[in-house]
Amino acid sequence: MKLPPPKRKGTYSLEETIERRRSKRAYLPKRLSPEQISQLLWAAQGVFQRGRRTVPSAGGIYPLEIYLVTREGVSHYIPQNHELEETLHGDVLPQLVQAAAGQEFLREAPVNIIIAADDRAMEGRYGDRAERYICMEAGHAAQNIHLQAVSLGLGSAPIGAFDDQQVHSVLKLPDEHWPLYIIPVGYPAE
């Protein structure tokens, strides 16, 4: 599914966006538009100007893989084409909640963004420092998602409490893609 082109101007200044960012763990039952989803994914790993992305990456390796989980299924974000490719059809949110220590608000969120990583290329170049660089990049991508959510009038929360193997299995991720972050995003109920 080709996504709408991202916008380059938001509602708030960067300073206002930073000030407004708070973790939100309750969401209204309202879907996100394709434009909102496009902005969130672009903020996470979008490509602009000669292949550069919205987050820095050690050596320009870009080991992160972004997945979108909705009630309809799981999709993989393809940054080079700014599109989503469905990888799993059907609602896996009950199993995702179970894999994430029973955090029910993941089921309430209209989308959950999963940041995963393929560490092979990073390890090949940086050895023992690869894990550090991947974690740094995941933090950059997550912060972009959270700030973009605020700019869109949405709420989000960083989730790290989950069983890696269970999430990997529930989402049927490729063997080399390991989950690092779950970020529920939606209209805040509070």
pLDDT > 80? residue 54: yes
Tokens of 18: 């930073």
- Looking at the domain assignment, is residue 8 inside a domain? no
pLDDT > 80? residue 12: yes
Give the separation between CA 44 and CA 152, rounded to whole angstroms: 14
- Looking at the domain assignment, is residue 21 inside a domain? yes
- Looking at the domain assignment, is residue 81 inside a domain? yes
pLDDT > 80? residue 40: yes
Q: Which residue has the higher pLDDT, 50 or 170?
A: 170
Per-residue pLDDT, 52: 87
Per-residue pLDDT, 14: 87
Span 86-113, average pLDDT: 98
Q: How confident is the model at residue 34 (pLDDT cuts 50, 70, 90)?
A: very high
Secondary structure string (H, E, C) spanning the chain: CECCCCCCCCCCCHHHHHHHCCECCCECCCCCCHHHHHHHHHHHHCEECCCEECCCCHHHCCCEEEEEEECCEEEEEEHHHCEEEEEEECCCHHHHHHHCCCCCHHHHCCEEEEEEECCHHHHHHHHHHHHHHHHHHHHHHHHHHHHHHHHCCCEECCECCCCHHHHHHHCCCCCCCEEEEEEEEECECC
Tokens of 61: 């390796």
Chain-centre distance for alpha carbon 103: 17
Neighbours of 164 (CB within 10 A): 12
Q: How confident is the model at residue 182 (pLDDT cuts 50, 70, 90)?
A: very high
- Looking at the domain assignment, is residue 33 inside a domain? yes
Decide: 178 and 119 in contact? Cβ < 8 Å: yes
- Looking at the domain assignment, is residue 97 inside a domain? yes
* Residue that has been written with the tokens 């390890």 in this structure: 123
pLDDT > 80? residue 88: yes
- Looking at the domain assignment, is residue 5 inside a domain? no
pLDDT > 90? residue 6: no
- Looking at the domain assignment, is residue 150 inside a domain? yes
pLDDT > 80? residue 2: yes
pLDDT > 80? residue 94: yes
Mean pLDDT of the chain: 94
pLDDT > 90? residue 101: yes
- Looking at the domain assignment, is residue 6 inside a domain? no
- Residue range(s) defining the domain that contains residue 80: 14-186
CATH assignment of the domain containing 119: 3.40.109.10
Per-residue pLDDT, 8: 80
What angle do helix axes 130-151 and 34-45 make, rounded to 10 degrees? Answer: 150
Domain count, the chain: 1
Per-residue pLDDT, 87: 98
Per-residue pLDDT, 169: 98
**Residue of 31, 6, 184 whose CA lies nearest to 103:** 184
Longest dimension (CA), the chain: 45
pTM of structure: 0.95
